[in-house]
């Protein structure tokens, strides 16, 4: 008798796909649907923080685990009865058992993560590891059966801890149900685990610190949050004898804003200095590159503003992992991971000679791009309410929903839903604070982006449906001509089509100089 029936094999293939997929892409939801069939409950297309119920249990996820655990118990029983099993079937069983084992302990990992972040007590004992080992043995130590992959319990425990940590930092830091936000969460997940979780667990878990991550994006789009999620989610080995992890993840992330400091101070902060190295250097000081532990991360914000001389010194760090403190000739070693961010166009900076090409090509082994707020709102307009509630909870706490609704109504009435938000999330937060205090918000440059610029950007990003493209283009041309007939002639489409696509409300949102004098007179 074979270990798996054809139906069970199909089910476990879907379970295997789910266990190793990127949880922040639609493929996760597709895998849940394949496993549950008619029992799947349709809902959100991707996993994101639900601002209406942040801690709510996801029903599909719970059902997947229950069904998988039922299958694992059946197969485990067959294995004890000398059932013939192919290597492929045993691999499917292993993947399913891993999923069940992770879910059994993920809430305890979560509690320990929150405790470490809030209390910052340093190393802690993980007493439930003993129980974890018993469950691990029950799944994978079957008499007379040799599993294709013998998972080492301490390594598996460390991997589970890393996965739960990464999920927590990503979903808590990158808010929004738009696909732009989902793509960013997925990109951060790949920065931590690569696109192939199997290979990562097998061979890369202790090597990704050698990969520098460069985060690009406009100001105010959360680049430091992305860096923090990556830096706080590194693999940390577990010591089964002491029942502790080798390092404390909560104190392993060091951030430095390069544009906020003069060059000499940047060098001192990064590399450290000896006493007397410069005026005011009264004591020896270790820099962040030396303080950073093996499994920690140093984040350099605004790397595009870095002086050429310091670029050369950092290039040496990336090439050889060595550096010298100011006023010293002894080589010191950087053991952690380097994460950098910039809002500048580095390609242009290299062309003008302000940024070294060799330095850039050492930085770009892993690239992450943070989307503008305008891109998120264009894809999913309701994200505005989600973000306002999230910000309002930080600002006022219990009255967040009412404040978010008030601010959203003010934005729609005075700025319009197509306001470009040049300051991104940072500007949105200040808008909320202004409306809270003064019941108004006055942008420094309302409408700094023209409708033509906005349309060109949307086209370049492929962010418009065919219907939305036609509506926006018809409105833009009509605003210039003031005539349905002329607009239809220019676009070579029927006048009635133009009339159905143009509305007064859209015309009133066009900047001055791009609209006709009387946008409500839509009769020409």
Note the pLDDT of residue 74: 94
The CA–CA distances, whole Å, from 40 to 58, 249, 413, 460 equal 11, 36, 40, 36
pLDDT tens for each residue of 279-329: 778 899 999 999 999 999 999 999 999 999 999 999 999 999 999 999 999
DSSP letters spanning 271-325: HEE-TTSSTT--S-EE-HHHHS-TT-EEEEE-GGG--HHHHHHHHHHHHHSEE--
* Torsion angle of C-alpha atoms 469, 472, 478, 481, degrees rounded to 10: -80
Question: Over the stretch 260-278, which tens digit does the pLDDT of each residue have?
Answer: 888 778 999 999 998 888 8
What interhelical angle do 87-119 and 153-173 show, nearest 10? 60
* Residue 209: burial class (beta carbons within 10 Å; 0-12, 13-18, 19+): middle
Sign of the CA dihedral 132, 59, 36, 34? negative
Spans in the chain with pLDDT lower than 50: 446-448, 512-524
CA distance 335 to 290: 8
Structure tokens that stand for 494 in this block: 């029927």
Residue 372 DSSP one-character state: P
Residue 64 near residue 29 (C-beta atoms within 8 A): no
- Would you state the pLDDT for residue 517? 43
What CATH number should be reported for the domain whose range is 224-369?
3.40.50.300
Separation CA 451–CA 155 (nearest Å): 54
- pTM confidence score: 0.83
pLDDT of residue 225: 96
Rounded to the nearest 5 percent, the helix, strand and coil shares of the chain are: 55, 5, 35
What does the alpha-carbon distance between residue 35 and residue 297 come to, in Å, rounded to a whole number? 38
Domain boundaries, the chain: 6-145, 224-369, 373-438, 451-508
Report yes or no: 231 and 339 within 8 Å, Cβ to Cβ. yes
């Amino acid at each position: 008798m074979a270990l798996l029936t054809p139906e069970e094999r199909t089910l476990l293939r879907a379970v295997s796909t789910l266990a190793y997929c990127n949880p922040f892409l639609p493929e996760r939801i597709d895998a849940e649907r394949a496993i549950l069939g008619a029992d799947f409950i349709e809902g959100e297309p991707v996993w994101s923080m639900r601002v209406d119920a942040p801690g709510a249990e996801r029903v599909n996820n719970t059902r997947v685990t229950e069904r998988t655990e039922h299958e694992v118990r059946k197969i485990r029983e067959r294995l004890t009865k000398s059932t013939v099993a192919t290597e492929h079937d045993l691999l499917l069983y292993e993947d399913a058992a891993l999923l069940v084992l992770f879910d059994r302990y993920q809430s305890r990992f979560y509690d320990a993560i929150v405790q470490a972040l809030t209390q910052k007590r340093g190393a802690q004992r993980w007493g439930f590891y003993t129980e974890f080992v018993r469950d691990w043995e029950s799944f994978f130590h079957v008499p007379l059966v040799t599993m294709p992959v013998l998972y080492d319990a301490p390594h598996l425990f460390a991997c589970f801890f890393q996965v739960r940590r990464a999920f927590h930092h990503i979903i808590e830091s990158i808010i929004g149900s738009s696909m732009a936000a989902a793509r960013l969460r997925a990109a951060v997940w790949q920065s931590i685990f690569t696109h192939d979780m199997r290979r990562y667990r097998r061979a890369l878990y202790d090597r990704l610190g050698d990969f520098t991550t460069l985060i690009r994006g406009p100001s105010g789009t959360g680049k430091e949050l992305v860096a923090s999620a990556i830096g706080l989610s590194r693999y940390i080995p577990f010591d089964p004898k002491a029942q502790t992890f080798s390092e404390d993840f909560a104190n392993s992330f060091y951030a430095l804003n390069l544009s906020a400091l003069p060059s000499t101070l940047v060098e001192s902060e990064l590399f450290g200095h000896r006493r007397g190295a410069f005026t005011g250097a009264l004591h020896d000081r270790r820099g962040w590159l030396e303080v950073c532990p093996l499994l920690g991360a140093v984040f350099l914000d605004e790397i595009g503003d870095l002086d050429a001389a310091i670029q050369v010194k950092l290039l040496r760090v990336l090439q050889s992992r060595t550096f010298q403190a100011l006023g010293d000739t002894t080589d010191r070693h950087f053991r952690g991971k380097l994460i950098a961010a910039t809002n500048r166009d580095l390609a242009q900076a290299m062309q003008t000679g302000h940024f070294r090409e060799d330095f850039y090509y050492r930085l770009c082994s892993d690239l992450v791009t943070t989307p503008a707020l305008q891109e998120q709102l264009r894809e999913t307009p309701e994200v505005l309410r989600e973000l306002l509630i999230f910000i309002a909870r930080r600002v006022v706490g219990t009255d967040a929903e009412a404040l978010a609704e008030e601010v959203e109504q003010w934005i729609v009435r005075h700025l319009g839903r197509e306001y470009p938000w040049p300051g991104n999330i940072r500007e949105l937060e200040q808008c909320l604070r202004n409306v809270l205090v003064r019941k108004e918000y006055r942008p420094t440059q309302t409408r700094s982006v023209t409708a033509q610029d906005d349309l060109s950007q949307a086209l370049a990003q492929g962010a418009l449906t065919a219907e939305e493209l036609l509506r926006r283009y018809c409105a833009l041309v009509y605003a210039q001509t003031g005539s349905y007939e002329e607009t239809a002639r220019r676009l070579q489409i029927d006048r009635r089509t133009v009339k159905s696509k143009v509305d007064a409300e859209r015309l009133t949102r066009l900047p001055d100089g791009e609209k006709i004098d009387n946008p409500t007179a839509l009769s020409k």
